């Protein structure tokens, strides 16, 4: 992907991010929200991005091709001292760009950031147990399955279990 740029999101990206999120909401059942369920306003998104930029244990990454957002990853660590070293992330890639290595590159960037942060010591994620391609990628990066959460997702009248996976940063 010669034209791919991975960078930190800025407050000015809020409108494009909202468009991207609304688009991907209808592309996959592996997200925590579906089509029409993302209701954050532009002002709320700007405030959210501004808060992330002020925090040493949070990051919002954008993957862009020719100015179009094609992927994102956001992570927030705990707000209290006892849990500031740990947090959970969400990652997505637009369906048109699946299986092109963008998720892999976002994860690499993120894991390197976490290691350099000197704050983050554990990264967590919930992933549907039937999302085998994502699970394969996470395992390749060193994540381990730490447990199963039953009925974590409820989609179209059906429950789905999730794995709680984690990566220790030392």
Domain count along the chain: 1
User: Does 57 reside within a domain?
Assistant: yes
User: Does 81 reside within a domain?
Assistant: yes
pLDDT tens sequence across 137-160: 999 999 999 999 999 999 999 999
Q: Tell me, what DSSP letter sits at residue 126?
A: E
Domain encompassing residue 82? 4-120
In angstroms, the CA 65 to CA 145 distance is 32
In angstroms, the CA 83 to CA 14 distance is 28
User: Does 33 reside within a domain?
Assistant: yes
Average pLDDT in the 116-130 region? 95
Across 141-157, b (16+ Cβ under 10 Å) vs e yields eebeeeeeeeebbeeee
Amino acid 28: pLDDT: 83
Helix 14-25 to helix 42-53 angle (10° resolution) is 110
pLDDT tens sequence across 1-53: 679 999 999 999 999 999 999 898 888 878 778 787 687 788 888 888 888 88
Q: What is the CATH number of the domain that holds 74?
A: 3.40.630.30
In angstroms, the CA 128 to CA 119 distance is 28
For the chain, state the CA radius of gyration. Answer: 16
């Amino acid at each position: 992907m010669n034209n791919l740029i991975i960078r930190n999101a800025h407050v000015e990206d809020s409108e494009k991010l909202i468009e991207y999120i609304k688009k991907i909401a209808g592309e996959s059942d592996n997200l925590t929200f579906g089509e029409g369920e993302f209701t954050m306003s532009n002002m709320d998104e700007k405030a959210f991005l501004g808060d992330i930029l002020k925090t040493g244990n949070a990051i919002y990454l954008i993957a862009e091709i020719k100015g179009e957002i094609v992927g994102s990853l956001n992570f927030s660590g705990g707000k209290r001292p006892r849990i500031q070293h740990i947090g959970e992330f969400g990652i997505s890639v637009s369906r048109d760009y699946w299986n092109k290595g963008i998720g892999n590159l976002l994860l690499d960037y993120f894991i390197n950031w976490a290691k350099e942060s000197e704050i983050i010591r554990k990264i967590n994620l919930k992933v549907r147990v039937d999302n085998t391609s994502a699970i394969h990628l996470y395992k390749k990066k060193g994540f381990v399955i730490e447990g199963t959460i039953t009925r974590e997702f409820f989609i179209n009248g059906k429950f789905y279990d999730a794995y709680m996976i984690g990566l220790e940063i030392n």
